[in-house]
Amino acid sequence: MQPQEETVAAALDLIGRELAAAIDSTATTDRQALDRVADLLAAAPRVFVHGAGRSGIALGMTAMRLMHLGLEVHVVGEVTAPAITSGDLLLTASGSGTTGGIVRAAATARDVGAAVAAVTTAAESPLAALATEVLVVRAAAKQDRSGTASAQYAGGLFEQTVVVLGDALFHALWRRSGRSADDLWPRHANLE
């Protein structure tokens, strides 16, 4: 492959256009599913987030925002995370919907009576089949290197969309709560 000269500004423009299209597609086609995921988050006594790699990091950002809202949130795999139980919610992200650890966690969650919300590019995946609610992101999965769904590398558009979806879920729940930003601020870390 021949190296191509591209400016950072051109890369930002490409990423912005792709992200806007992915968000628009999800907001248009999954509007009711988005609200149902927000309802699941609001109703769950505890929320667990689980993703691998960069998807997991993106969900970690969502977990932090949900904690600011006052929800009890745990990141799967952390040493302080308790066992998931009936009534809880597992919020997952897997572009392919086939990541073994995430699919197994979703199966376990369903087995104990917890709800599962899945963000994926694959509506017909094992993860989607286990989910109570599925948000389908129109983006390339990590292994798709064709450049047709996204010109970005290795699932970048999917992971960016996971961050924005998490922030949108938080924002909607925050506005529903009627609390001000000052009300939420004390939940920020003060150990600096």
d(CA 16, CA 89): 31
**189: confidence class by pLDDT, cuts 50, 70, 90:** low
Mean pLDDT of all residues belonging to the chain: 92
**Predicted local confidence at residue 64, as pLDDT:** 95
| Mean pLDDT along residues 48-69 | 96
pLDDT tens for 2-57 read: 667 789 999 999 999 999 999 999 988 888 999 999 999 999 999 999 999 999 99
> Alpha helices, DSSP H only, in the chain?
8-29, 31-43, 53-68, 100-111, 126-130, 156-177, 181-184
C-alpha 98 chain-centroid distance: 15
**126: confidence class by pLDDT, cuts 50, 70, 90:** very high
In the 8-state DSSP scheme, what is residue 112?
T
Pair 142, 154: CB distance under 8 Å: yes
**Predicted local confidence at residue 79, as pLDDT:** 96
**152: confidence class by pLDDT, cuts 50, 70, 90:** confident
Helix (H, G, I), strand (E, B) or coil at 74: strand
Active site residues: 159
Domains of the chain: 9-176 (3.40.50.10490)
pTM for this one? 0.92
d(CA 69, CA 158): 25
